Every structure is written in C-alpha cells, then in structure tokens.
Structure 1
Amino acid sequence: MKQAVDHALEALRTLFPATPLQINEHLSARYGATIYLKREDLSPVRSYKIRGAFNFFRKAIETGARDRTFVCASAGNHAQGFAFVCRHFEVPGVVFMPVTTPQQKIDKTRMFGGEFISIRLVGDFFDQCYQAARDHVNHTGGVMVPPFDHLDIIEGQATVAAEMQAQLPAGIIPDLVILPVGGGGLSAGMTGYLKSVVAPQSFRFCEPEGAPSLKRSLETGAVITLEQVDNFVDGAAVGRIGDLNFAALKGFSTDQVLLLAENAICVTITEMLNVEGVVLEPAGALSITALEAIGREGLEGKTVVAVVSGGNFDFERLPDVKERAMRHACLKKYFILRMAQRPGALKDFLGLLGEEDDIARFEYLKKSARNFGSILIGIETKHPDNFPRLKAAFDQAGLRYQDITDNEILANLVI
C-alpha cells in the first residue's frame, strides 16, 4: 500500500501543496501534551475529500473513462472535492446531495465545478441520496465516484498519513493519532499506511453519538446499517460504514472508538472560532472534541496528532451551535415553572436570581379563573455551578419546576 499511496501523493502535488501539520499551543497547554493538528480544513476545498476524488479520477481517466459522465453522492465535502476535480480534468459530473445539505456547501460545490457539473438534491439523508445516484448511474452508464468505500478513494485519503509522517520532526512517533469517522475511508487509509510505524493501540476513532456506525459494527463483528441517524454532524452522519473500510478497521477494539455528543462538538466549534480564529464544521471538530473526552490524564506528556477533517461551516447555523454549546457547558438552562397568579409573584421570582444569572427567554400568558400559571423561562449564567444554587432557591421558595434542558423531545418543541 505504501508505494501506491506515495505515488498518489506525488500526483496530488500537481493539484495543491501539502496541508499544514501545526502544533496547537492552546490545546497543548490545556492537556499538558504536544498536540498537532493536521489541517485538512486548509485544502483547496476545505476538507480532505479532494484527495480521494482526485485519485479516483486520475486512475479512471488513465483507463479510458474520460468520455463518460462522473457521478457522486455527498453531504457536501466529497461533492466539493468531486466538483473541483471535474473542473481540473475538464470532465462532466453530476452531484447528488441530500435536501438537508447546508446551502453554503451547495453554493461552494457549484463554484468549484463551474460549467462541468450539475447538482440534484434528493432525500433527507445521505443514504437516500446515495441510492438515487446509484440508480442514475445504472440508467445512464456513468462512472460512480464513491465517497469512501473504494480502494482508490481509500488510497487517496491515505495521502494524509503520508504527509503527516513526512511533516513530523525526525524520530517523532505519535503516541496517539485521532481520526474522525464517517464512512471510514480516511481511517482505513491512514491506519493502513501507518501500520508499520504507529502501534494499533495508538489510534483513536471518533464518531458523533447520533451516527455510531463503526462502533456498532465493531460491537456486532459485522457491518450493520443504523436504523436512525442524527444528521447534525452532516459530514460524518453515515448510516453504514463502508464494507472495505470496516474490513480494514475490524481488528481495532470498540474501546478505541469514542462517541461524542453533538452538543459537545458545538463547544469545540465555538471555542476554536473564538480562541483560535479557526472555522470548523461539526465533522471537522470531532477529533478536537475527542481530546476532552480522553482528558488530561490520558494525554499528559504525549505526542498527539488530531486530524481536522473539514472547515465548511455554514454561519447561518452559528446561533444553533452557540445554543447547543451553552446547554452542554451548563451555562444555559430551560425551565417550566408553576407560578402563582397574584400581584408580586414575578417580582418575588426575580429576587431568586443571582448576580450572574440572566433571563434569555420568558413566555407567560395569564389565564383567568386559575390560581397558578406555567412559565417557560431560559436562563443564562457565567458559571455552571450557579444552577445548583438557583435550583436550591427554587426549592426553598416552594416553586414547582421542571428542567427541560436535556429533554430533547420537549426542548425541540419549545426552544
């Protein structure tokens, strides 16, 4: 594999230079480790997906496919890499994308592909979109460019590992390599390339809680299809890991796969934007979020490489990301309160709030012929330990209340 990947990397240099491998001082200081970020968000399409697409096209064209139409299905990043490569090789392409794809990714795909591509929006989830693309290929005789489950794609994604190894200081071998997982092409490629250098137990794989396709497949010993997927982390919201990729990863332990809460990923996105000025999409924030899950005790004194897989973030999503981040950090909570309908009741309630507590949302409609009314209230605070104090004040005042912050069904209706 190494020789083929090195050849693919040499060919890739005609398209763009190596992405940086950077020591992140902020994260290194936090965890007492030397933490490198492999910045795939700085590729021409702001993700590593361009690598696999280029390698697939290169090989297909060499074997006579230039006169055929290329087809792909993607939640965004594979589509952008595909479009960029279509224009590079000047071949026609059709991109199938889920209807739920962020508009920013759709617009960027059009920009990268120009006159060489057309876009079709189909289905709410990636797997529905992927099936539509396969049906199109079967009817038209086009060339399907898979997002992850193909040897040429895996080989292209493995060039991340080849670059990483060349960029590390001489003699340095990472104690941990943290890889985000969606369909598994990046992880299959990188672990395959580095297997003679990095010990198997030194890899960590991270998936969103709402799309644990690798974790569940490892637990059962065979590839499974998830019945339900949370598509918030759209770049990794895959219902079924690739068969070839699972075959490459099935020897790893389930303990090496970290499932990360979507709201925790939001904390990473906002922190990296505010502190480092780095724009990350949810899938691109997975490996950094994994650092918090591992914790300082598991990282201190170690050399760590975390692959930052993408930075195609739609800023229209920022209010939702900030909201999720604050809820995860216990800096914002929502309550339904049962309050007496009498003059002065609201004033009494406000007196329970601390100096650092702020009302972010308040909904109340007084109803006649009732002694009590229900209030929806959102409270922000500066420190999470303020909420236990506030709840104690509610209890002492005899207020009946329900904390609905973590009740996803109820919260989605009212927040």
Structure 2
Amino acid sequence: MTLDVETATEALRGLFPATPLQLNEHLSARYGANIYLKREDLSPVRSYKIRGAFNFFRKVIAAGAVGKTFVCASAGNHAQGFAFVCRHFGVPGVVFMPVTTPQQKIDKTRMFGGEFITIRLIGDFFDQCYQAARDHVDAIGGVMVPPFDHRDIIEGQATVAQEIMEQLPEGVMPDLVIMPVGGGGLSAGMTTFLSDQVDPEGFIFCEPEGAPSLRQSLESGAVVTLEQVDNFVDGAAVGRIGDLNFQMLQRFKPEQVLLMPENAICVTITDMLNVEGVVLEPAGALSITALETLGAEALQGKTIVAVVSGGNFDFERLPDVKERAMRHSGLKKYFILRMAQRPGALKDFLSLLGPEDDIARFEYLKKSARNFGSILIGIETKNPQNFPALKARFDGAGLRYQDITDNEILSNLVV
C-alpha cells in the first residue's frame, strides 16, 4: 500500500508542531545504548491518535462530507483526538466509549470537543461500544471514523515515523524501532514508511499480555478474535487487530511481538514518574517496558527509538499501579497464615520479621476458630532477597503459611 505521508505531515503542521524525539539519558545509561523516546504524550491530546483522526477528517471533508455527523468508538485516546478535530473543523460528532473508560479520559474528551460532541458510554470493552457506534452510523447516515482499520488513519499515524527520521541526528539510523500495538494503526503506518530505512528484524511490537491480538494472529496466519481481554492497558486492550492493519503487518514474525505483563508495565509507569517526572498511561509505557524484556546484552551499543504513545493517566489508578509494581518487583507479598490462638503468638510472629520488612495489611479471615486462626498478611520490604530469608524463618518456626501473591484467583478474592 502506498501512503502519502509527506502530505499528511505537512497538513498536520497546521494543527500542532512535531512532538519531540528525546535521547533519554536514564534509560541509555541503564542499557548501554542510545535510547530515543518519541514523546507522543506531548501532543495536544497527549497521544498520537490525533494524527489519524485529523488525516481522516481532512480527506472526508475535502471530498464533500457536508452536514454529516461524525461518529467514533474509543477507549479514550482516539476519542480525544476525534473531539479535538471535530472542534477544529466545526463539525458535530458522537463519541461511544466503554463504561470502563477512566473518568479522566471522559472529562478530557468533553473538554477538547466542547459543544461539538456528544458522549455515550456503552459496554465494558472496546469491541462492544464499537458495534454500538457502527449501528448508530447506519441509523443516522453518519460518517464512521475508525480508530485504526482504515488507510487514512494508518497514513496519519505514519507521520510519527517521518518526524522521527527528520529528528534523528544526521547520519544516525535506528537499529530498533519499538512500537506499542492495540488495533495496529500506528505499527502498520510506521513500518510501511520505514520499510526502506529499517531492517525488517529491527521492528519490535509490544502488546499487553492480556490482549495479544497481533501475536496470536501472526501465529495463526489470519486475524484472530480474542475470547477474553484484560482491560488494564485500556489504550491497547483490543480484542481484534484491524483487518487492513494485519495485512500490512503479516510479513513480520510472531517472535517480534513481545507480550508485556500488566504488572511489569506498572513498574515502568512508577519508574518514569519517580525518576524522570514523566506521566505515562499503561499503553504509553509498553515500549519502554519492552527494553527490560529485551535486556541490556541485546541492546548494548544500539540506537533505539521507542514510541511513547500516550500520557493520559488517571491518578486515581496510582495506588493500584503502585501495588502491581511492587508485587512484580518482588517487594510485596501476601500470605495466608495459620496462627495459634494463644497469648504471645502475634509477638512470636513479629519477631520473625527482618529489619526491612513492614506489615502493610493484617486481617483475620476467620475469627471463630478456637485453636488456630487464618490471617491474611501483606508484607512490604526494601529488597526482594529478603523474602526467601523470611520464608526460611517461617519454616524454621513451624509456621503454616501459603504465599498467594501470584495466585490470581485467590488473591483477587481476599486481597
């Protein structure tokens, strides 16, 4: 497919300047590489989605779509870009969003669109609200603005790649380009534009572990619709990659798609916030999380571009993100203990804790037992190596316990 990315980029400059490509000293030092971050979190809507929406609108409007209502479905970022562009062109729009969309993204969508948009919350997942949007378009004769599965959307997202090549130092070419994947619009556009400049093996794609649509589709040789999706990485939790997008990406190997555990993404969010002061949403942290998966040995001495796709983070989620990050880093664990119901039993237990161990939660699960009681306890520590020593002291004291930190079903019931 031929994309006119140069014209799309030129048109986009009338809306906002190019987002920065920044050499990140912190990550470069950690991995012994030159790591550049393409900061799409610094666009007017804090994500790259405005690019595809603008490109779609400008073409449809130029073709004579007058008096039409524009419609989109989005988990948040496409909606914000859509709303911004509706106001820019002065056209009416209806936004369908899942009920589970973070309130911050809903409020920002209203702010960007103003009087030109209406928001409807339908369904728990993106695919449900997408179908509702399509039904609405059919009912009113409107114009559907797809989030990723359309040539003009893909062409707009490809402008990220053109900017990267213009912003890299003279004579520098990337060895690796790391991109997040949801529906596939960004990755389809970027790989097409960079196909003559980056080796095919140099493209790395990142999906949430709970939404591996591209990975499974590449493994199957055809588009796969996921039966279940973990919605934590809401900006990339798509149950089915776009058909056109898959056609453009099917030349790549499944091994080039890295699946990022949701809790590992939380480590990246907290690290970038604490060290760099950069606010990332879960989807925006995917590419940086991939650096840890690839490892310093594989990255040593290379020039790497990682696309930071969005920064629309709802800070009400921060406690959950911190919790997930600590568990993934081995700094927090949950145990169910069988503790004797006698005077001094709690004191004996506390003596087993090390100087860096802190009780973050303590709760009796059953209070009617006469001789023993079941206790849920959460322990935080400063070094993950402290837990093996703590468990050894538990064993030495004859304490009966179960580590439920990684037991998703049980921990979700009691934690």
Specify the TM-score bucket, using the shorter chain as the normaliser: over 0.9
- Per-residue CA deviation, residues 51-80 of structure 1 (Å, 9 max, x unaligned), is 000000000000011310000000000000
Instruction: Tell me which residue corresponds to 1:20.
Output: 20
Q: Check the 8 A contact 1:258/1:290 in 2, yes or no.
A: yes
Q: Distance in 1 between matches of 2:369 and 2:217?
A: 57
Q: Check the 8 A contact 2:365/2:376 in 1, yes or no.
A: no
Q: Distance in 1 between matches of 2:162 and 2:66?
A: 28
Greater Cα offset, 232-241 or 361-370: 361-370
Q: Distance in 1 between matches of 2:6 and 2:183?
A: 23
- Per-residue CA deviation, residues 254-278 of structure 1 (Å, 9 max, x unaligned), is 1100001000000000010000000
Q: Check the 8 A contact 1:337/1:375 in 2, yes or no.
A: yes
Structure 1 residue 369 displacement after superposition: 5.7
Q: Check the 8 A contact 1:60/1:66 in 2, yes or no.
A: no
Q: Distance in 2 between matches of 1:381 and 1:289?
A: 23
RMSD, matched Cα: 0.9
Instruction: Tell me which residue corresponds to 1:113.
Output: 113
Q: Distance in 1 between matches of 2:292 and 2:395?
A: 33
Q: Distance in 2 between matches of 1:121 and 1:183?
A: 20
Aligned 1:309-320 pairs, distance under 5 A: 309-320=309-320
Q: Check the 8 A contact 2:181/2:187 in 1, yes or no.
A: yes
Structure 1: 5+ residue stretches without partners = none
Aligned 1:70-109 pairs, distance under 5 A: 70-109=70-109
Matched, 1:139 2:148: no
Distance 1:214 1:373, change over 3 A: same
Q: Check the 8 A contact 1:341/1:366 in 2, yes or no.
A: no
- Per-residue CA deviation, residues 220-275 of structure 1 (Å, 9 max, x unaligned), is 00001000000000000000000000000001011100001000000000010000
Instruction: Tell me which residue corresponds to 2:166.
Output: 166
Q: Secondary structure at the match of 2:198?
A: coil
Distance 1:3 1:232, change over 3 A: closer
- Per-residue CA deviation, residues 301-349 of structure 1 (Å, 9 max, x unaligned), is 0000000000000000000000000000000000000111111111000
Residue type at the aligned position of 1:340: A
Structure 1 residue 2 displacement after superposition: 6.8
Q: Secondary structure at the match of 2:10?
A: helix
Q: Distance in 2 between matches of 1:337 and 1:365?
A: 10
Q: Check the 8 A contact 1:21/1:167 in 2, yes or no.
A: yes
Instruction: Tell me which residue corresponds to 1:412.
Output: 412
Residue type at the aligned position of 1:222: A
Matched, 1:220 2:220: yes
Q: Distance in 2 between matches of 1:366 and 1:237?
A: 38
Instruction: Tell me which residue corresponds to 2:276.
Output: 276
Aligned 1:60-71 pairs, distance under 5 A: 60-71=60-71
Distance 1:12 1:369, change over 3 A: closer
Residue type at the aligned position of 1:253: K
Distance 1:384 1:369, change over 3 A: closer
Instruction: Tell me which residue corresponds to 1:150.
Output: 150
Distance 1:366 1:218, change over 3 A: closer
Q: Secondary structure at the match of 1:364?
A: strand
Structure 2: 5+ residue stretches without partners = none
Structure 1 residue 367 displacement after superposition: 3.8
Residue type at the aligned position of 2:52: G
Instruction: Tell me which residue corresponds to 2:294.
Output: 294
Instruction: Tell me which residue corresponds to 2:321.
Output: 321
Residue type at the aligned position of 1:264: A
Matched, 1:257 2:257: yes
Name the TM-score, length of structure 1 as normaliser.
0.99
Q: Secondary structure at the match of 2:65?
A: coil
Residue type at the aligned position of 1:237: A
Instruction: Tell me which residue corresponds to 1:187.
Output: 187
Q: Secondary structure at the match of 1:306?
A: strand
Distance 1:368 1:287, change over 3 A: closer
- Per-residue CA deviation, residues 30-49 of structure 1 (Å, 9 max, x unaligned), is 00000000000000000000
Instruction: Tell me which residue corresponds to 1:348.
Output: 348
Matched, 1:330 2:334: no
Q: Distance in 1 between matches of 2:64 and 2:143?
A: 11
Moved over 6 A (4+): none
Residue identity (%): 83
Residue type at the aligned position of 1:26: H
Name the TM-score, length of structure 2 as normaliser.
0.99
Q: Secondary structure at the match of 2:382?
A: coil
